[in-house]
Amino acid sequence: MSEVLLSARGLTKRFGGLAAVNAVTIDLWRDRIHAVIGPNGAGKSTLTNLLSGDLAPTEGGIELAGRDVTGWSPERISRAGLGRSYQKTNIFLPFTVWENVRLAAQSRTPHAARWLTLASKVRAANERAERALELAGLQPRRDFVAAAISHGEQRQLEIAMTLATEPRVLLLDEPLAGMGSAEAERMVALLLRLKQDHAMLLVEHDMDAVFALADHLTVMVNGQVIAGGTPAQVRADASVQSAYLGEGEAAHG
């Protein structure tokens, strides 16, 4: 049965007089992809930063797997089960794909495993890295240096590095950005695989992908949630069409 793994209540972030995120409530369920969409400046990145602990909320609270994690550091939230992919910034380009994933896995030897011998820790980290590499579909590239793989594969690598920390909740910020259609298709297939056993928040501008992937959508404009529901409900919502989907580059819905 599905369960709520992350729950944010009344999240608000003010920058001076601007409420970049204004009283947003959101639940992320295991085995479901929850997309957040909205025009530029809607507050999507700020919301992601609040959920990952990179920003502290001005108001509101966040529970992760039943624990109140409000105000925790990103490292502590990450250890508690939240994985966030940062666009390429964590990749060491001169290292191989395997070395990158292995380093990410090593950063996550749990505190509870301090008693393990060094050999057991190394073995556990190797196993985490192998699983992540396999899940992300990067086994065929494991010995390539990261600088030599394609843009789409580098995005897969970021996700593999996030998976190596064994998160239960995944926050993915524009995983399809800059991809051609074949790469985007591969990423969509990967995200559908990852849906199993994870709760996922997806921030993505590619509306075709969003509507293909999302089980639930939240639509933000100017920091506020203006609509939410299944893709069909959101598509049919007149306020969404006038605020967002009917306009300019986002007019794929």
Nearer to ligand ATP, 43 or 81 (CB): 43
Site string for ligand ATP, 6-45 (x = CB under 6 A): ---------x--x-x-----------------x-xxxxxx
Query: How buried is 12 (Cβ within 10 angstroms: 0-12 exposed, 13-18 middle, 19+ buried)?
Result: middle
Nearer to ligand ATP, 153 or 204 (CB): 204
**What phi and psi values does residue 198 have, to the nearest 5 degrees?**
-120, 155
Q: How far is the CB of 213 from ligand ATP (least distance, A)?
A: 18
Q: How far is the CB of 52 from ligand ATP (least distance, A)?
A: 13
Contact 59, 147 (CB under 8 A): no
Query: Could you tell me which residues come within 8 angstroms of residue 94 by beta carbon, excluding any fewer than 6 positions away?
Result: 145, 146, 147
User: Would you state the structure tokens that stand for residue 4, as one six-digit string?
Assistant: 């709520």
Helices (H), 146-180: 151-163
DSSP 140: G
User: Would you state the structure tokens that stand for residue 70, as one six-digit string?
Assistant: 């409000």
Query: How buried is 138 (Cβ within 10 angstroms: 0-12 exposed, 13-18 middle, 19+ buried)?
Result: buried
Site string for ligand ATP, 165-204 (x = CB under 6 A): ----------------------------------------
Nearer to ligand ATP, 40 or 117 (CB): 40
Q: How far is the CB of 115 from ligand ATP (least distance, A)?
A: 42
Q: How far is the CB of 135 from ligand ATP (least distance, A)?
A: 27
Q: How far is the CB of 144 from ligand ATP (least distance, A)?
A: 30
Nearer to ligand ATP, 48 or 154 (CB): 48
* 225 belongs to the binding site for ligand ATP (CB under 6 A): no
Nearer to ligand ATP, 41 or 61 (CB): 41
Distance CA 30, CA 1 (A): 9
* 46 belongs to the binding site for ligand ATP (CB under 6 A): yes
Distance CA 214, CA 223 (A): 21
Count of beta carbons in the 10 Å neighbourhood of residue 242? 11
Q: How many residues form the binding site for ligand ATP (CB under 6 A)?
A: 11
* 57 belongs to the binding site for ligand ATP (CB under 6 A): no
Nearer to ligand ATP, 46 or 218 (CB): 46
**What phi and psi values does residue 185 have, to the nearest 5 degrees?**
-60, -40
| Interaction site with ligand ATP (CB under 6 A) | 15, 18, 20, 38, 40-46
